[in-house]
Amino acid sequence: MPATDPTPRKGFFTDTTVCIGCKACEVACKQWNQLPDDGFVFTGMSYDNTCHVGASTWRHVAFVERPIRLQGQTAGIGDFSWLFMSDVCKHCERAACLEACPTGAIIRTEFDSVYVQPDVCNGCGYCVAACPFGVIDRRKDDGRAWKCTLCYDRLKGDMQPACAKVCPTASITFGDQDELRSKAEQRLAELHGKGVTDAYLYGMDAENTPGTGRLNAFFLLVDRPEVYNLPPDPVVPTKKAHAAWQALAVAGLGMAAVALTAAFSVREASR
Q: What is the pLDDT of residues 212-228, one digit of tens each?
A: 999 999 999 999 999 99
pLDDT reported for residue 69? 63
pLDDT tops 50 at residue 247: no
Across residues 121-134, what is the average pLDDT? 96
- For residues 214 and 95, give the distance between their C-alpha atoms in angstroms, rounded to a whole number: 10
What's the whole-number mean pLDDT along residues 137-161? 96
105 is a domain residue: yes
**Same-domain check for residues 188 and 219:** yes
The answer to whether residue 3 is domain-embedded is no
Q: How many CB atoms within 10 Å of residue 256?
A: 10
263 assigned to some structural domain: yes
Instruction: Based on the fold, state whether residues 46 and 129 are members of the same structural domain.
Output: yes
> Are 118 and 248 in the same domain?
no
Is there a domain that residue 123 lies in?
Answer: yes
Q: Is residue 4 part of a domain?
A: no
The pLDDT of residue 14 is 98
> How high is the pLDDT of residue 65?
86
More confident of the two residues 146 and 253: 146
Q: Are residues 19 and 114 in the same domain?
A: yes
Could you give the number of structural domains in the chain? 2
- Listed range (59-63, 118-122, 259-263) with the worst mean pLDDT: 259-263
111 and 192 belong to one structural domain: yes
Regarding whether 250 and 228 lie in a shared domain, the answer is no
Segments of 102-241 assigned E as strands: 106-108, 114-116, 137-138, 145-146, 172-176, 200-202, 217-221
Q: 57 or 248: which carries more pLDDT confidence?
A: 57
66 pLDDT exceeds 70? yes
Same domain, 134 and 100: yes
C-beta of residue 63 within 8 angstroms of C-beta of residue 84: yes
Same-domain status, 206 and 270: no
For residues 185-190, average pLDDT:
98
Co-location of 262 and 172 in the same domain: no
Asked if the structure places residue 71 within a domain, the reply is yes
Note the pTM of the prediction, 2 decimals: 0.82
Asked if 23 and 61 count as a contact pair (C-beta separation under 8 A), the reply is yes
pLDDT at 253 over 90: no
**Which pLDDT value is given to residue 264?**
65
What CA–CA distance (Å, rounded) separates 222 from 83? 9
pLDDT tens by residue, 225-244: 999 999 999 998 865 444 43
User: Domain for residue 5, yes or no?
Assistant: no
The percentage of the chain sitting over the pLDDT mark of 70, rounded to a whole number, equals: 80
- Residue 38 resides in a domain: yes
Q: Residues 9-57: pLDDT tens digits?
A: 999 999 999 999 999 999 999 999 999 887 777 767 666 778 889 999 9
Which residues span the domain enclosing 260? 239-271
Q: Report pLDDT for 28.
A: 98
pLDDT at position 246: 47
d(C-alpha 69, C-alpha 63), whole Å: 19
> What's the whole-number average pLDDT of the chain?
87
For residue 258, what pLDDT is reported? Answer: 63
Compute the C-alpha angle 250/210/148, nearest 5°. 115
Mean pLDDT, rounded, for 253-266: 63
222 by Cβ neighbours in 10 Å (0-12 / 13-18 / 19+) ranks as middle
> For the segment 67-77, what is each residue's pLDDT rounded down to a tens digit?
876 555 555 56
pLDDT at 243: 44
Question: Is 165:157 a contact under the CB 8 Å cutoff?
Answer: no
pLDDT of residue 166: 98
User: What are the E-state strand segments in the chain?
Assistant: 10-15, 59-67, 80-88, 106-108, 114-116, 137-138, 145-146, 172-176, 200-202, 217-221
